[in-house]
């Protein structure tokens, strides 16, 4: 019996994610974080509640610690949270006051810990000085910046 290994010339899921993203885009959660020049941070998460069931999804998204953690130069106020569900999706909105002189250093996405059933999150972060868009996928080591 003869066996051999060879290099796979097929596309890499993480490196070539743009080839695959359209196939599952409708099942992907989306996190939007926007910081105004006045230091207000408005965030939202939209996802299918079929991922964990409507009641469980609503409850988990009602806790900011299940969704994200903001690393800022100085502490922000506790977020106000509103969660609503409709026709298969849940939309959660969060608002915090952080102060006009504050700086958003990093957004830590915690959704994978709260939702083991979730595989991918599209993230959009906007501040007065920058804008970033990327995808985080459970099986990829790094954020994916070319996903469209």
Q: What integer pLDDT is reported at residue 6 of this predicted model?
A: 47
Smallest CA-to-CA distance from 109 within 23, 47, 45, 27 is with 45
- pLDDT greater than 90 at residue 32: yes
- The encoded tokens of residue 59 equal 């409850």
- pLDDT greater than 70 at residue 23: no
Q: What integer pLDDT is reported at residue 145 of this predicted model?
A: 78
How far apart CA 95 and CA 67 sit, in angstroms, is 13
Q: What integer pLDDT is reported at residue 10 of this predicted model?
A: 54
> Which segment of 63-77, 88-102, 127-141 scores lowest on mean pLDDT?
127-141
Q: What integer pLDDT is reported at residue 80 of this predicted model?
A: 97
Instruction: List, for residues 59-90, the tens digit of each pLDDT value.
Output: 999 999 999 999 999 999 999 999 999 889 99
pTM score, two decimals? 0.84
What is the rounded average pLDDT of the residues 105-113? 94
Half-sphere exposure of 101 (CA within 13 A, CB side): 1
Sketch the domain layout of the chain as residue ranges: 3-145
Among 11-15, 24-28, 48-52, the range of highest mean pLDDT: 48-52
Is residue 43 within 8 Å of residue 93, measured between CB atoms?
Answer: yes
């Amino acid at each position: 019996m003869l066996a051999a290994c060879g290099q796979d010339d097929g596309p890499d899921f993480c490196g070539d994610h743009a080839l695959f993203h359209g196939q599952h885009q409708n099942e992907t959660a989306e996190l939007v974080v926007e910081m105004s020049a006045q230091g207000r941070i408005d965030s939202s998460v939209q996802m299918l509640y079929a991922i964990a069931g409507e009641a469980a999804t609503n409850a988990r998204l009602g806790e900011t610690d299940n969704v994200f953690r903001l690393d800022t130069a100085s502490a922000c106020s506790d977020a106000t949270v509103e969660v609503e569900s409709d026709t298969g999706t849940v939309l959660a909105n969060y608002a915090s006051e952080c102060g006009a002189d504050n700086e958003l250093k990093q957004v830590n996405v915690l959704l994978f810990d709260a939702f083991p059933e979730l595989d991918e999150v599209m993230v959009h972060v906007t501040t007065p000085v920058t804008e970033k868009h990327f995808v985080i996928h459970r099986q990829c080591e790094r954020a994916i910046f070319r996903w469209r």
